[in-house]
Amino acid sequence: MNNFGFLKVAAAIPEVRVADCEFNVQQIKAIIVNAAAQGVRIICFPELSVTAYSCGDLFFQKKLIQAAEEIVATLLKETAEVPVCFIIGVPIEHHSKLYNSALVCFEGRVRGIVPKTYLPNYAEFYEKRWFQSYHNSSKNSPKTIRYAEREVLFGTNILFNIGCAKFAVEICEDVWSVIPPSSGHATSGASLIFNLSASNELIGKQQYVKSLIGQQSARCQAGYIYASAGFGESTTDVVYTGNAYIYENGQLLAESQRFQLKEQLILSDIDVDLLNAERQKNTTFISQASVNCTNYAEETLISTNLSENCFQLNGQLNRSINPAPFIPVTDNYDESCREIFLIQLLGLAKRLIHTSARSLILGVSGGLDSTLALLVCVKTADQLELPRNIICGVTMPGFGTSNRTLQNARRLMETLGITVREIDITAACEQHFKDIQHNVTQQNITYENTQARERTQILMDLANQLEGLVVGTGDMSELALGWATYNGDHISMYGVNAGIPKTLVRHLVKWITENKMNTETDTETRKTLRDIIETPVSPELLPVDSEGTMTQFTEDLIGPYELHDFFLFYTLRYGFSPKKIYFLAQHAFKDIYETSVILKWMEIFYRRFFSQQFKRSCMPDGPKVGSVNLSPRGDWRMPSDANARLWLDEIERLKKISL
């Protein structure tokens, strides 16, 4: 069994006929069977889907209420062997009161009835005319009523346990309330919230509803499955266009198409592991859960058909996995990039003002990282209304510096109007080799790190000379892998790129080049930036060839940064195991990397991530820009001597399975 924590859920919008219970249940049954064939474990239908929502005063007709109960009993018998938990809407009479209710059904039985808490009083659907609002006392458990020939739990505070997760139900207007019932459901343990709705269409309403549901999903750190009435409801005064959404912790996973004349079924896989990881780290959520005094009843729905196999995927996912989780995917990509850049800028501005530094010093190699750091410095000076010549950019060619990167570094600094220093480190390194009796032909780690430390010494000494700060250029991916020379490029006085992974660095430089935050409109600057973006990543510490071209490529040595950033994100953000990250990577990088390649670089990632923690334990200050960061003072407090054996052993097992 592939247990990766995914639960397949669905929201359905069946065609309905007003007050035709038999027709409506036939449509519901067909969709349930179809969903089961696609591996769905829980499916939600719209509000009052058995009768239709827009019956109006027909709800006062005893015949309609009885017909609904009778046809539900038939549906239960006909779906008893279908391994799907389904949630449908019906009107239920109890003690001469009528309740707009949701039935949670499984294995031929109604396992719980959840009445609606908040009833709308809008002119177009004044529910209080027909239905009663139901509020459970915080001290009272749900009661039991008889429905469809069985005693059934009835109340708003019921959790349904399917073994791999718990879920709860609210109905339409409930989520619009000041404190939705789902808030209590979530803090009491529900990972999934199902909402049966019948919301009519109005101009601009859809975006508001999506925002509302997305926010509630994020606030509750839950999966939120919403199904609203569609074609077939009465159009006497309003129109229902069929809105269905599946959210996970604020992220939209799937949505229906509006204004459709046929039934719709949307489905996706909710990552329950992800939700649990988010809740575990969120002390606010945990604190709220600890003070929740509502007395919930728990109905357990465990069977071979549902619980034991609820995470069975057979290698298939009904959702996309973003191969670049650090890259903004919001509707307003420009605004997200702007925010990241401004966070870097503000952090550096504060440090510059606080220290009363008179200059900013940084090494400019002609590569992506130093380019981004330089652009941050330039924009910081502009924002503080300081001359750009307080920035001292230093290019320090050595044994491995290529003609391409050297020329790009020179052009970029000149066109940006900063102070330019060029200091060749070749002679100094050769002298150092003599001092420590190292053979210059032995191009090993000593040979490479000598150059990095020589450059750092130059920058630090220039900072003393110019009463300035050394601005670090290293990025978060390099920190994760330890791809930095200890006490070399590992050290600075403020690391502006410390919260930016390598994949994002390239995107930011490209965005700055092509969009509104560009530092210059100069054509030459843009041309240089574009060439830097296209230059392969290299430490340039080994000698160039006879034509001055680089011979050392970082990703040939440690692996593709897009894979490492993917591993880093899911390791730090959610604490996923190598097995699950490997599964996600297979989907994210399908047709890009073979499974053996993914496992090869995953092993390198974990080996380096654990062994290089000592560098992160003393890393310089730098601004956090996203949900993942490696600062030992904040997000990541890992012992420098932690052992990677558990993670590496799992990778070895994965290798054997993939052979």
Domains of the chain listed by start with CATH number: 6-300 (3.60.110.10), 333-658 (3.40.50.620)
Dist. CA 552–CA 537, nearest whole Å? 9
Model confidence at 314: pLDDT above 80: no
CA-to-CA separations, 619 to 45, 366, 467, 489, in angstroms, rounded: 53, 23, 22, 11
Give me the mean pLDDT over the 472-488 stretch: 96
Give residue for tokens 């019906």. 90
* Given the residues 15, 47, 233, 278, the one annotated as active site: 47
* Poorest-pLDDT segment among 282-296, 320-334, 504-518, 630-644: 282-296
Furthest-apart CA atoms within the chain: distance in Å: 101
Q: Where are the alpha helices (DSSP H) in 255-321?
A: 272-281, 283-290
* Given the residues 116, 166, 379, 580, the one annotated as active site: 116
Average model confidence (pLDDT) across the chain = 91
Model confidence at 25: pLDDT above 80: yes
Residue 636: pLDDT band with limits 50, 70, 90: very high
**Annotated catalytic residue 579:** no
Phi, psi of 241 (to 5 degrees): -110, 0
Model confidence at 481: pLDDT above 60: yes
Phi, psi of 313 (to 5 degrees): -110, -25
Report percent pLDDT > 70 for the chain.
Answer: 94
Q: pTM for this one?
A: 0.90
Which of 600, 615, 617, 608 has the alpha carbon at shortest distance from 644?
A: 608
* Given the residues 44, 55, 172, 392, the one annotated as active site: 172
Model confidence at 304: pLDDT above 70: no
- pLDDT for the residue 485: 96
Which of 107, 36, 32 has the alpha carbon at shortest distance from 77?
A: 107
- pLDDT for the residue 515: 75
**Annotated catalytic residue 377:** no
| 3-state SS, one letter per residue, for 325-377 | CCCCCCCCHHHHHHHHHHHHHHHHHHHHHHHCCCEEEEECCCCHHHHHHHHHH
Which of 626, 421, 422, 416 has the alpha carbon at shortest distance from 512?
A: 416
Element containing residue 543 per DSSP (H, E): none
Dist. CA 389–CA 381, nearest whole Å? 9
Model confidence at 549: pLDDT above 90: no
- pLDDT for the residue 201: 85
Residue 260: pLDDT band with limits 50, 70, 90: confident
Structure tokens at 591: 């047709």
Looking at this protein, which amino acid is placed at residue 45?
A: F
Residue 127 per-residue DSSP state? G
Residue 522: pLDDT band with limits 50, 70, 90: confident
Dist. CA 52–CA 228, nearest whole Å? 11
Residue 405: pLDDT band with limits 50, 70, 90: very high
Cα angle: 143, vertex 147, 149; to 5 degrees: 125
**Annotated catalytic residue 116:** yes
Dist. CA 303–CA 172, nearest whole Å? 30
Burial of 221 by CB count in 10 Å (0-12 exposed, 13-18 middle, 19+ buried)? buried
Q: Which span out of 307-321, 375-389, 518-532 was modeled with the highest average pLDDT?
A: 375-389
Dist. CA 626–CA 184, nearest whole Å? 29
Model confidence at 450: pLDDT above 80: yes
Structure tokens at 472: 């670090």
Element containing residue 160 per DSSP (H, E): strand 158-161
Task: Report yes or no: 486 and 611 within 8 Å, Cβ to Cβ.
Answer: no
Tens-digit pLDDT profile for residues 523-539 = 888 899 999 999 988 88
Which of 581, 639, 579, 583 has the alpha carbon at shortest distance from 609?
A: 639
Length of the chain: 659
Greater pLDDT, 123 or 215: 215
Model confidence at 310: pLDDT above 80: no
Dist. CA 51–CA 30, nearest whole Å? 16
Dist. CA 301–CA 106, nearest whole Å? 7
Q: Which residues contact 388 (CB under 8 A, 6 or more apart)?
A: 378, 381, 382, 416, 417, 418
Strand pairing partners for 192? 167, 223
Q: Where are the alpha helices (DSSP H) in 384-501?
A: 403-416, 426-435, 445-466, 476-481
Dist. CA 85–CA 44, nearest whole Å? 9
- pLDDT for the residue 1: 40
Tell how far CA 393 is from the center of its chain.
37
- pLDDT for the residue 552: 83
Give me the mean pLDDT over the 626-642 stretch: 93
In order, the DSSP letters of 20-54 are -HHHHHHHHHHHHHHHHHTT-SEEE--TTTTT-ST
Structure tokens at 608: 């380096």
Give me the mean pLDDT over the 471-499 stretch: 96
- pLDDT for the residue 4: 87
Model confidence at 263: pLDDT above 70: yes
Phi, psi of 340 (to 5 degrees): -60, -50
Give residue for tokens 């991916």. 477
Dist. CA 394–CA 564, nearest whole Å? 30
Structure tokens at 366: 């002609």
Greater pLDDT, 291 or 376: 376
- pLDDT for the residue 121: 79
In order, the DSSP letters of 60-117 are G-HHHHHHHHHHHHHHHHHTTTS--EEEEEEEEEETTEEEEEEEEEETTEEEEEEE-S
- pLDDT for the residue 309: 53
Which of 297, 276, 200, 374 has the alpha carbon at shortest distance from 6?
A: 276
Dist. CA 272–CA 275, nearest whole Å? 5
Give me the mean pLDDT over the 547-556 stretch: 84
CA-to-CA separations, 88 to 193, 422, 651, in angstroms, rounded: 14, 73, 44
Structure tokens at 659: 């052979």
Decide the pairing of beta strands 97-106 and 297-300: unpaired
Structure tokens at 345: 């800028």
Give me the mean pLDDT over the 574-603 stretch: 95
Dist. CA 313–CA 294, nearest whole Å? 35
Dist. CA 376–CA 252, nearest whole Å? 33
Task: Report yes or no: 527 and 518 within 8 Å, Cβ to Cβ.
Answer: no
Model confidence at 5: pLDDT above 80: yes
Q: In what order do the strands lie in the sheet with 6-13?
A: 143-147, 150-154, 109-115, 97-106, 85-94, 42-44, 6-13, 264-271
Tell how far CA 322 is from the center of its chain.
9
Looking at this protein, which amino acid is placed at residue 337?
A: C
* Poorest-pLDDT segment among 322-336, 397-411, 570-584: 322-336
Model confidence at 465: pLDDT above 90: yes
Which of 534, 225, 494, 546 has the alpha carbon at shortest distance from 380?
A: 494
Strand pairing partners for 42? 9, 85
